[in-house]
């Protein structure tokens, strides 16, 4: 059973979805650590409630990105983490983390990348009066939501779509799709196998 770390900065709803499928046995993994850059984030409360250790930090307490990422890598190694799952983590990863876990970091983003990368993808889609948005799961590289795409699922925007209604639609997909793809990656370890399996 592979050991994973979840990185989150906020509410942690995707983190909770992963906790739930691990606890039910649907996802054969161990969540060994939560990494959070916001001490007051609700994701930390979720980790505490589930008995999952947390590494909580503030970037301003470190002299550089390299320094705090090295502190994160040290914690990941301490807990034997093999795979990193970003779930609403609002910081770009740097070379220190990327090199330590190359090809073993994935992220979920609430748009059909490359459309609407970065912050507030839901607001961006609404402002652009887009007809479609959705969910993208992708590998993480040094760019802003630019890594190789694993899978996407579309959501149609209605004429009267609101931020709240679109967010609910997207989260409904996220909470099902992320654990499902994570299970496939942890067992198969091949992005091509994953996308082919979903297409069939």
- Return the active site residues: 109
139: part of which helix (H) or strand (E)?
Answer: strand 132-139
Asked if 174 contacts 153 with a C-beta cutoff of 8 angstroms, the reply is no
Asked if 45 contacts 51 with a C-beta cutoff of 8 angstroms, the reply is no
Measured at the alpha carbon of residue 32, what is the angle toward residues 148 and 193, in degrees to the nearest 5? 30
Question: How far is it, in rounded angstroms, from Cα 171 to Cα 182?
Answer: 16
How crowded is residue 61: how many other Cβ atoms within 10 Å of its Cβ?
A: 9
* Tokens (6 digits) for 143: 């760019």
Asked if 138 contacts 114 with a C-beta cutoff of 8 angstroms, the reply is no
* Tokens (6 digits) for 2: 């592979």
Asked if 117 contacts 146 with a C-beta cutoff of 8 angstroms, the reply is yes
């Amino acid at each position: 059973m592979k050991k994973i770390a979840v990185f989150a900065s906020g509410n942690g709803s995707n983190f909770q979805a992963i906790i739930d499928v691990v606890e039910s046995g649907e996802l054969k993994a161990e969540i060994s650590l939560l990494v959070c850059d916001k001490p007051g984030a609700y994701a930390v409360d979720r980790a505490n409630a589930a008995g999952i250790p947390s590494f909580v930090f503030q970037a301003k307490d470190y002299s550089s990105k390299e320094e705090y990422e090295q502190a994160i890598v040290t914690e990941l190694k301490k807990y034997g983490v093999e795979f990193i799952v970003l779930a609403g983590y609002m910081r770009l990863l740097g070379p220190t983390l990327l090199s330590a876990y190359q090809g073993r970091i994935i992220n979920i983003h609430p748009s059909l990348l490359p459309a609407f990368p970065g912050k507030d993808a839901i607001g961006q889609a609404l402002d652009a009066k887009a007809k479609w948005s959705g969910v993208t799961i992708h590998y993480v590289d040094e760019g802003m939501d630019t890594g190789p795409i694993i899978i996407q699922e579309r959501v149609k925007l209605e004429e009267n779509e609101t931020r709240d209604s679109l967010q609910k639609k997207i989260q409904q997909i996220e909470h099902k799709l992320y654990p499902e793809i994570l299970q496939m990656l942890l067992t198969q370890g091949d992005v091509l196998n994953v996308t082919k399996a979903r297409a069939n």
